[in-house]
Structure 1
């Protein structure tokens, strides 16, 4: 074989070898890149469940996202406000649907806005409650499988202000609150009681004391109508008093239950439960030690401790501390 042919064959083999090595190198690089990407996505996929579980547990035991369901805390908290609740210090439930709570690190403080189980809520079991709350959290409060046929979300937790405290007696007159602290000889109006105890919060009224006589008469009217009794002459005018009746009647039992309890007691004075209800509102609500009386800041539109009574401090689950939505109202909650 001539030298020229040998050189050409050598160049040919060298070229093929370089191409082969280059291809193998590129193939290895691509394989490593594919493995790296595959590993990244696998890591991502495997990390999502653990991340969601961590978020869920944080919401369950440390900081809970909560949506304000009603107007009962106006104007401090408005419907659909998104807030954060500190649960770490206040004894959250051991698990969803389980009526047992972890011990609290800090006690409830008078004037705090607290969350606690709704006495009227009927749990659907551990599995349903866990799934419902999990979907609610990971969807950033946009998905709630517990909604009723009308689309209303279930209210398993209530949010109110801790107003009545250890040893207090609370009395409502024309919707205004008077507080008699333990060991005190007389009650103080709520705003003055706040100053004496160095606390500050605002309440909202739906009607003024100028409307108290009207409210009392409407309370009596509502009792007669509920019981389908013949109206006495002094209440007949309310049959045509539709505008004012519509305006105030819905607020009677919520904001000022005393007139209704008085009217009910007058009609059924021989029934012990009617007498008990009247005396409770006439003499005031006593708050034993270790309990709290929660009230809404919107005093004429709040179903609160005036109806379901005092609650044990040990079932308080958290304290509202931060509003995260809407954007123009982000900030601390007091």
Structure 2
């Protein structure tokens, strides 16, 4: 949606400039020329005055408060489903300028377990979503479907087999677990139907200013195990709420997910 952000900035600037130029240089002269007659504003000025406040409000809310995103893939199942529409807190990790994503005011940093939206280094024009597992200085390892954090394996509690629906039906039969990430236990999915497929095993030490992120759908996620660390500069915000779910193959709107907080 980078194109939408750019278009919103351009339209806001254009309508604002037209409005100000008319107010400073043309409106008074137009009124004097009209005399006692009713002043008729040019159409472009009329539209600019009407739309600028709306565009400016949307731009500020979207850039500095909360931005909506749609989940396009299954990499965060079972936490987030294909078709979820989420809200992302845009000031949790600092205020950033639209388009450039340059941080202008530092407010906070990601905590372990946060679900974050970011520009992946290998696809800077896209928005991805994963969970922060490793903070700067942490050593993260992944072996035999187990995450090790600073040398200690995380705990896992089984909840039986997962039953998917809609576009996530292919995940049916996977193991549904709660992963005991310190301070933020959360659900994950693991599959048993790939016994000879080694999925992203290794050990990594997270450098300063970067993060190790993983998808909750451990056997179907392109994350830090494969492309490396997430730079702090590429963060977009913290996902915190599901405000809508629409999956046509699952029957349309799933009202049970509306208003759910993201663990």
Is the pair's TM-score, using the shorter chain for normalization, greater than 0.5? Answer: yes
1:83-122 correspondence runs (5 A): 83-96=86-99, 98=100, 100-121=102-123
Give the alignment partner of residue 329 of structure 1, picking from 235, 241, 257. 257
Aligned partners of 1:44 and 1:205: how far apart in 2? 54
**SS where residue 288 of structure 1 aligns?**
coil
Displacement of 1:122 after TM fit?
A: 5.0
Could you say if the C-alpha distance between residues 92 and 297 of structure 1 is closer, same or farther in structure 2, counting changes exceeding 3 Å? farther
Could you say if the C-alpha distance between residues 314 and 44 of structure 1 is closer, same or farther in structure 2, counting changes exceeding 3 Å? closer
Larger Rg: 1
Count of aligned pairs between the two proteins: 191
1:1-334 correspondence runs (5 A): 46-96=49-99, 98=100, 100-121=102-123, 123=125, 156-180=126-150, 186-191=151-156, 195=180, 197-207=182-192, 211-212=194-195, 214-215=196-197, 256-258=199-201, 281=202, 284-326=203-245, 327-330=255-258, 331-334=260-263
Deviations 1:165-197 (A, max 9, x none): 2322111113322222xxxxx422354996583
CA contact (8 A) 1:66 1:84 kept: yes
Aligned twin of 2:9: none
More helix by share: 1
TM-score where L is the length of structure 1: 0.51
Question: Which contiguous aligned blocks of 4+ residues in structure 1 show a shift greater than 4 angstroms?
Answer: 42-45, 192-196
TM-score where L is the length of structure 2: 0.64
**SS where residue 220 of structure 2 aligns?**
coil
Larger relative contact order (C-alpha < 8 A, sep ≥ 6)? 1
Displacement of 1:115 after TM fit?
A: 1.0
C-alpha root-mean-square deviation of aligned residues, in Å? 2.8
More strand by share: 2
Unaligned runs of at least 5 residues, structure 1: 1-34, 36-41, 124-155, 181-185, 216-251, 259-280
